[in-house]
């Protein structure tokens, strides 16, 4: 799987507006996932899309998800998970 940090951008979801990293992850079977991570909220997964090609055993498909409520942020803060993480440079690539 290859990951590419594409941007640090403003993202709007039901829970509000955030500055988030857009990361594109591509696996060897052609599935492309795009999560948006908020480093200021302890690496909170804010939004995610997954595009699956027709060549996958499950067939073609798309999944979209987003943070719906700020209540999740309050729970993370109460649990001590709201620690900012270091920001990777936009354009950085890495493999897992």
Q: In a structure prediction context, what are the per-residue pLDDT tens digits for the chain, which is 96 residues long?
A: 889 999 999 999 988 899 999 999 998 888 999 999 988 776 788 899 999 999 888 889 999 999 888 776 556 555 555 555 455 555 555 554
96 in a structural domain? no
93 in a structural domain? no
What is the tally of structural domains in the chain? 1
According to the model, what pLDDT value does residue 89 have? Answer: 57
Report CA 38 to chain centroid distance, whole Å.
8
According to the model, what pLDDT value does residue 96 have? Answer: 47
Burial-class residue 64 by CB neighbours within 10 Å (0-12, 13-18, 19+): exposed
According to the model, what pLDDT value does residue 79 have? Answer: 54
92 in a structural domain? no
91 in a structural domain? no
Q: Which domain holds residue 13?
A: 2-86
70 in a structural domain? yes
And the tokens for 50? 């997954």
14 in a structural domain? yes
According to the model, what pLDDT value does residue 39 have? Answer: 84
19 in a structural domain? yes
């Amino acid at each position: 799987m290859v990951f590419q940090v594409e941007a640090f951008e403003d993202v709007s979801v039901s829970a509000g507006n955030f500055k988030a990293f857009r990361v594109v992850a591509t696996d060897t079977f052609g599935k492309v996932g795009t999560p948006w991570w908020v480093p200021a909220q302890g690496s909170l997964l804010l939004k995610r899309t997954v595009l699956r090609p027709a060549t996958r055993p499950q067939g073609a498909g798309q999944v979209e998800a987003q943070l719906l409520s700020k209540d999740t942020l309050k729970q993370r803060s109460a649990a001590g998970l709201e620690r900012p993480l270091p920001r990777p440079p936009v354009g950085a690539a890495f493999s897992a």
